[in-house]
A and B are shown apart, each in its own frame.
Chain A
Amino acid sequence: MKLSKSIRLSGLLILVSSVISGCTVVYKGTGDVLVSFSKAEMVPHLMTYRDIGMACATGESLTPLLMSFGEVGSKPDKLAPLVFVSAATCSEQKALDAELRYLRAMKRGDVTEAQDARSEQKAHAEQAARRLYEAYRRTVMVYGEPIDGSCPRLRSDFDELVWMVGLIAGVQSLLNDATAETAVGIPRDVAAKVERGAACLDNEKWWGVPQGTRAAVWNILPMLAPEGADAWAELEKSTRLGFKKGVRLASALYVISAYGVDDQVQIRKGIREFAANNSKLNKEYALLDAIAGELILGVSHRMWADATGQRTPFRGLGTFWDDAPKNSSAIDIDDLL
């Protein structure tokens, strides 16, 4: 009797443990399939979208699922920077909306509303900073910290893409954290590391983004620029390359840099040129071009709201409130009558 009881107990234990280990095997298998499917199919597919809302929703909803497979032995590490950046676009959009509410409130002299909007903006900026920093942190976890005179082994276009997106996320996370009064406490040396890391990518192949990123960092920390480097000239060159290749991410770096130093002439030039170069866009990386568009539209919205209380008019990117009205060649009305 006793023997059969212990046999039954052992049987139960074996069953439970085999179910558990079986689950792990099944989970890992599922994870591996999902991760490799995401890398091979979902990411390239999503890259062809121009719909930022879809990227944001994908990032927010799929990140926990994909990352959780890391717990059962799958390796979603290279996917992580991309999905965290996608999720950060949601927070950045909310932060921008709050900032526009702040600017409108200031315009009409409503201090309480303005202060409330600033608090909201900071809260969203903090969340954006966390997501973007996670993207950067995971990038350097996989490929290693950018160090002087050495580059990580980037074996494929996918690796290079992840490296580039992760580095830009690093700089963006610092900027968002500054808005959020350093609530996240992102190490400030990230900027210098990104500057070094970007030099590991082929500038021509990646639409001027690597050199544009470096030059944008030189504008923030001029002490990092190599002797004789001209940050604006580099940004200008990178922007042109981006236009030529149909992915205008470097153009966004140009405009954000100009906005950072409040250079109205350069900002307007950058926005107008972005708007004017909207044909022959690269279809394979449409999402990155669309994100650049959102960043530029965000700067334009801030300028419009600050000056007029309202955002850029619909389909009005590249125009400004004080533009001279378009007149057809001087016509003497009397001649027409």
Chain B
Amino acid sequence: MLTRKIIATAAALCVPLTITLQAEAQERNICVFDIIGTAGDQYNIMRDYATAASAHGYKLNLKVYTDESIAAEDLKASQCDAAVLTGIRGRQFNNFTGSLDSIGAVPNYDALRTVIQVISSGNDKITPHLKQGSFEVLGVGPMGAAYLFVKDRAINNVNALAGKSIAVMSYDEAQGKMASRVGMSPVMSDITNFAGRFNNNSVDICFAPVLAYSALELYKGMQPNGGIIEYTLGQLTMQVIAREGKFTQEFAGWSRKYFADTVFDQAMRVIDTAQKEVDSKWWITVSDEDRVRYDEMMRDARIELTNQGIYSKEMMSLLRNIRCRMDLARAECSDSREVANR
């Protein structure tokens, strides 16, 4: 009898509680950049994110954008409360996480996982960097490592790069500068034409994520004697960037954790599949000696770009410390050129 009363009371209490929870769900619009549209990987991940978010008080309406620049503009124009963009495009909203895609700074996926965990840690020294101006970063996930695809295997060291043409993304200042630095001629391109230029021989080299290899048939451009230089030039990331005040701090913390704990593995499964598609014959191995030279060269370039204000000093310092934590033998670990002043 007593039990029945308790259940009845609990039920009576629960009903209004459920109604209140639903009534309080805040609606927010998220603009999701996915080049494939609603059938793409990023949109698929965001659907699961939106589902999980509804248990945290937000009803997220996803709107897909196949053109990233329009998604970024709509975020600026307050058409979206948050947008999912690549780190490179997101750099204009937050150059701390926007510097994750910096050249040669994240050599492998373990290092990427570590930095994403640090970002989601809620640590007082990190969280303030996630808010800049009117925007806040709500999560970072991997989109795959990027490499140099070359038409000729003889282009296997820095000296051979000089004089060659390379398709670079016009909206990433760093790519053009880096290319010029090593004597290459950058050819300003966008996502719709860089692969065509490589495949029809208008450029000697292109810089692309592993996800593009098969979808854009980059192997055609590598025929018969090209390859992919096995040196991680950068990590592409997807980032959720929200307008300030549109989400509670509790939610922002949960969201970043969700990206580190759930999205990372989900996205890595897709990246692994893409990586496996690459025929092993294309990989051009880099000698240890050259690897060290590349590391140094990338570091010099990063320092220069950081001094020019393109990359964030704090992120460069964090990434240097992560690299050295994983491999203390790296040359850079004996000095502190990229370590921010404390």
Contact = CB atoms under 8 A, between A and B. Distances in A.
A189 B36 contact: no
Contacts of B47: 118
Interface in A148-195: 175, 178-179, 181-183, 185, 187-189, 191-192
Given A261-B37, A262-B38, A185 B276 contact: yes
| Residue of B25, B191, B217 with most chain A CB atoms under a 10 A cut-off | B217
B44 interface: yes
Interface residues of A, number: 29
A188 B274 contact: yes
Nearest to B269: A181
Contacts of A175: 39
B1 interface: no
A114 interface: yes
Interface stretch (B48-56, B104-112, B144-152, B330-338): B48-56
A260 B51 contact: no
Interface in A219-241: 219-223
A325 interface: no
Nearest to A256: B39
Contact of B214 (A178, A179, A188, A261): A188
B266 A178 contact: no
A115 interface: yes
A307 to B, nearest CB: 11
Interface string B311-328: 000000000000000000
Interface string B204-246: 0000000100111100000000000000000000000000000
Contacts of A260: 36-39, 64
A223 B195 contact: yes
Contacts of A185: 273, 276-277
A148 to B, nearest CB: 9
Nearest to A262: B64
A281 B264 CA distance: 49
B63 interface: yes
A288 to B, nearest CB: 22
B11 to A, nearest CB: 17
Nearest to B195: A223
B52 A115 contact: yes
A261 B276 contact: no
A330 to B, nearest CB: 36
B41 interface: yes
A223 B55 CA distance: 39
A109 B55 CA distance: 8
A106 interface: yes
B37 A111 contact: no
A178 B37 CA distance: 11
A259 interface: yes
B44 A179 contact: yes
A127 to B, nearest CB: 17
A106 B215 CA distance: 33
Contact of B54 (A106, A187, A261): A106
Interface string B262-285: 000010011001101100000000
Contact of B196 (A111, A115, A189, A223): A223
Given A220-B36, A220-B37, A187 B214 contact: yes
A182 B270 contact: yes
Given A189-B215, A223-B192, A261 B38 contact: yes
A316 to B, nearest CB: 23
Contacts of A179: 39, 44
Interface string A298-326: 00000000000000000000000000000
B61 to A, nearest CB: 9
B21 interface: yes
Contacts of B214: 187-189
Nearest to A108: B22
Contacts of A118: 47-48, 51
Contacts of B270: 181-182
Nearest to A302: B38
B52 A189 contact: no
A195 B51 CA distance: 34
14 contacts: A109-B18, A111-B55, A178-B36, A178-B44, A179-B39, A182-B274, A183-B269, A185-B276, A219-B37, A220-B39, A260-B36, A260-B37, A262-B38, A262-B63
Shortest 8 CB-CB contacts between residues of A and residues of B: A260-B37, A188-B215, A188-B214, A182-B273, A111-B55, A175-B39, A185-B273, A189-B214
